[in-house]
Structure 1
């Protein structure tokens, strides 16, 4: 199924679900992405020379020490092409296992002011690498669901309302005043506020609340509270600070869920060496290897070295760890990215044979790969299955339907689904409809949906503005994009990484690369607002590369490294292209790549040969 390396059938024991899943991974030929031949800049499935073998079966991985960068953002698999992995995840999502989201994940998450739906990622259920934050919430706030639902908190609770209204850099003073007034501060109230802040991507505020609570004697910190704190520190201040905080946690609470949370954040930031170090540390501490942990390794190797996926599966088989639905979704997505539709369908058959029914997220992943594989009829069949006989009972899939039908170019289906939602749209449906009409180049209809959304939602968030801003960026409407950004600022809305990304692309598409660079520099200086997205840097780097502007390409490359975005092949490929177009040699480039543990794939090797100052040519041989 994976075909990342051939596995002898003799090494597989005939035992239950694990073996069935593992057999599906064996003997289907070597992995090769057809995108390798299109553009080396787009190729993400680069190969490392070293990979785990028998060590995998012993739940241990050993690599040379690798540098750990600053927190970066996880990738969105196949959001813009048949399988390109774009590292433009929205504002610090962690890349974690995601269960199927119900209409409302936890009681009280919805609020009347925003008409919020079940999750912020609902607008694209198909993004395997994107729709991950919910599982961490499920793990870290496992007690919150019962506490909040028992309390039946709805709308904006007093504590949440206080935090949302606070305009200063910190909420501690406001919280002190709140406590001094002897307002209720129950665990359900705290969980309700924390969950909502996470859903709104307000991680700084959530961290401030967590820090304030830990100082209070009347609030007893649990193991999951500490783990939640680790996650928030990793998101806001980086992995090193999060790891250092773990050392201060009481030993009785420094358990598996704490380290598992750190591992998930390491994976989210694509830090290979650190991820493997934490995994091995968990093993040394005697923590059990769970499906969640294995899925983290699968997510990591799916991005960095797909050959290792087979070893993780072998480790799962040896330790009798049953694949979850998310495990299968990862396998399906990897084969889809390789445009191996036959292999993808074999995984689906294996999953179904083991009695696991695809949920909406898995179906959306399958549909997306059918779309980009040119199999329109199969994609439509999956979408119709998602719709079911009664769309009302499957309301949660509407955002995915809108986006996928737009990718198919089916304006009639987008219109039909939106008409169903239009009487009482949810937030995710508004956003998906705007995005869908933007993909179809129908800016007028996107603007109409946006206008209706502004009327129904009292206070627009960054996400609302940014969705429309992205439509303007994709359709090269610089003037309207600037005007919307001004409205965003006038409304007091936080202008964060998504808005920066859209603005950068607006200027790049208008040919104003220097202006885009200036915008990104200003964004970088605003660390409290988050780190710029990977795609923002790449939009500018690609333009400098096309010009052969080595000086500016190196500058943007350095800034990417400072932001923690260099330990991957694509930035190196773009920088190499700058040297190629400038027709100058790139001295020591192989050593630079080796220092970042990047090993050349076919495309990178071809580029390196073009900039090798000492390479032999037919003419140089004659002269010698």
Structure 2
């Protein structure tokens, strides 16, 4: 980014591809408005297929549907949309918006215009049919790929297919697809190995998961944190507690940099078995190695102590999370908020509920849902709060019929 600033300030000629790269960088660093203004101020010859495509990509990633579709229509008028790349952007946008049927229609449009489908297009098309629970449609896409151009059927195609079969509960078909992944992948393709391990675990096949891990270790002399994380997550999913402990200890012994994500997997496995002391020892070991407990760690202990009805301890971890949080860095999930306040409601614990809501307010998450649940606690406890209506107004909370009804009970006018 700084280099491009320097080039433009010095009047150094930039290629059209440079302009396109700059649009992408501006969107990432300074936001969409900055990228859009830059595009608008380009000289007419620089507003070509590359720069239009770069801006379209920015709109699609930001889910700016109206802007993306309007720009795409303009590109069609200018004959700038005649490549699979631009169609792939719009197709992916529709998938992210949960509209697979529109993605399928766009692929049909590509075929009418004789725009060649690439591997990415086919993979997303398979996902589109899968989203519509049309497994036969998925299989038709695969047959078409294999018949049209075998080169397009790389390992990602069969990994994608295996994932679809797993989601549909067709584990035998998924494992057949994974065998194709192994045939198509290169001997030292890190990402392919990660997918194999995760997807074999998703089929509940521990033996194949461990076999692939053995092949992986033979192919790579040094194994990084991410690869160990993939394996630990797979073993956690398979509930192979002994294997999980073994590989966690193996990783801890040999790692050059401590990664709290791996410790969290082991912590979660211990808490799943109500082995809270052991989970705490894992966290202490991480701290001793210079790591810092992250928000996921706090959530694991919150959920555990809520489960065993030690809300006081769950609240302590909530306090720890809030004390560490920076602006927009972390928020408790809706489910977690509901669980906390649900326990306070059952116990008629107004003080606990108020303390929890005080913490929510610190992270700007004391909204209408939380207030509604807080009022439920007051109603359950049979307590009044004359100042509640004023508090709600001060916090600019939208007054729903439910909240209004509760207020009539706990602070009647």
Q: Using structure 1 for the length normalisation, give the TM-score.
A: 0.46
Separation in structure 2 between the aligned mates of residue 272 and residue 517 of structure 1, nearest angstrom: 39
Separation in structure 1 between the aligned mates of residue 215 and residue 191 of structure 2, nearest angstrom: 12
* C-alpha deviation, 1:399, in angstroms: 1.4
Alignment partner, residue 323 of structure 1: 117
**Kept after mapping to 2: 8 A contact 1:434/1:468:** no
Alignment partner, residue 440 of structure 1: 238
Report 1 or 2 for greater relative contact order, CA contacts < 8 Å, sequence distance ≥ 6.
1
Alignment partner, residue 321 of structure 2: 519
Instruction: Determine which structure has more spread, i.e. the larger CA radius of gyration.
Output: 2
Mark the runs of 5 or more structure 2 residues left unpaired by the alignment: 307-313, 346-352, 380-399, 405-413
Q: CA RMSD in A?
A: 4.5
Q: Which residues in structure 2 correspond to 1:35-54 (within 5 Å)? A: none
**Kept after mapping to 2: 8 A contact 1:291/1:321:** yes
**Kept after mapping to 1: 8 A contact 2:123/2:160:** yes
* C-alpha deviation, 1:391, in angstroms: 8.1
Alignment partner, residue 77 of structure 1: none
**Kept after mapping to 1: 8 A contact 2:155/2:184:** no
* C-alpha deviation, 1:487, in angstroms: 6.1
Separation in structure 1 between the aligned mates of residue 266 and residue 3 of structure 2, nearest angstrom: 36
Alignment partner, residue 268 of structure 1: 61
Q: Which residues in structure 2 correspond to 1:1-12 (within 5 Å)? A: none
**Kept after mapping to 1: 8 A contact 2:129/2:137:** yes
Q: Which residues in structure 2 correspond to 1:516-555 (within 5 Å)? A: 516=318, 519=321, 523-525=325-327, 532=329, 537=331, 540-545=333-338, 547=341
Separation in structure 2 between the aligned mates of residue 280 and residue 382 of structure 1, nearest angstrom: 38
Separation in structure 2 between the aligned mates of residue 471 and residue 277 of structure 1, nearest angstrom: 49
Mark the runs of 5 or more structure 1 residues left unpaired by the alignment: 1-206, 526-530, 561-571, 585-607, 614-624
Separation in structure 2 between the aligned mates of residue 475 and residue 308 of structure 1, nearest angstrom: 45
Separation in structure 2 between the aligned mates of residue 355 and residue 430 of structure 1, nearest angstrom: 36
Separation in structure 1 between the aligned mates of residue 301 and residue 62 of structure 2, nearest angstrom: 27
Aligned residue for 1:240, secondary structure, equals helix
* C-alpha deviation, 1:264, in angstroms: 2.3
Alignment partner, residue 242 of structure 1: 35
- For residues 506 and 473 of structure 1, do their structure 2 counterparts lie closer, same or farther at Cα, with a shift above 3 Å needed? farther
- For residues 215 and 435 of structure 1, do their structure 2 counterparts lie closer, same or farther at Cα, with a shift above 3 Å needed? farther
Aligned residue for 1:315, secondary structure, equals helix
Identify the range of structure 1 (293-302 vs 235-244) with the bigger mean alpha-carbon deviation: 235-244
**Kept after mapping to 1: 8 A contact 2:129/2:138:** yes
Alignment partner, residue 479 of structure 1: 280
**Kept after mapping to 2: 8 A contact 1:473/1:503:** no
Separation in structure 2 between the aligned mates of residue 611 and residue 378 of structure 1, nearest angstrom: 49
1:306 matched to 2:100:
yes
**Kept after mapping to 1: 8 A contact 2:84/2:116:** yes
Count residues in correspondence.
349
Deviation by residue 1:564-607 (Cα, 9 ceiling, x = unmatched): xxxxxxxx9xx69x78x9699xxxxxxxxxxxxxxxxxxxxxxx
Aligned residue for 1:316, secondary structure, equals helix
Deviation by residue 1:367-406 (Cα, 9 ceiling, x = unmatched): 1222232222111111122223998476652211111111
**Kept after mapping to 1: 8 A contact 2:248/2:266:** no
Q: Which residues in structure 2 correspond to 1:593-612 (within 5 Å)? A: none
Alignment partner, residue 353 of structure 1: 147
* C-alpha deviation, 1:448, in angstroms: 4.5
Aligned residue for 2:169, secondary structure, equals coil
Separation in structure 1 between the aligned mates of residue 6 and residue 248 of structure 2, nearest angstrom: 38
* C-alpha deviation, 1:215, in angstroms: 6.3
**Kept after mapping to 2: 8 A contact 1:270/1:300:** yes
* C-alpha deviation, 1:249, in angstroms: 4.8
* C-alpha deviation, 1:410, in angstroms: 1.9
> Paired residue for 1:224, among 9, 17, 20?
17
Separation in structure 1 between the aligned mates of residue 263 and residue 48 of structure 2, nearest angstrom: 43
Alignment partner, residue 291 of structure 1: 84
Q: Using structure 2 for the length normalisation, give the TM-score.
A: 0.66
Higher helix share: 2
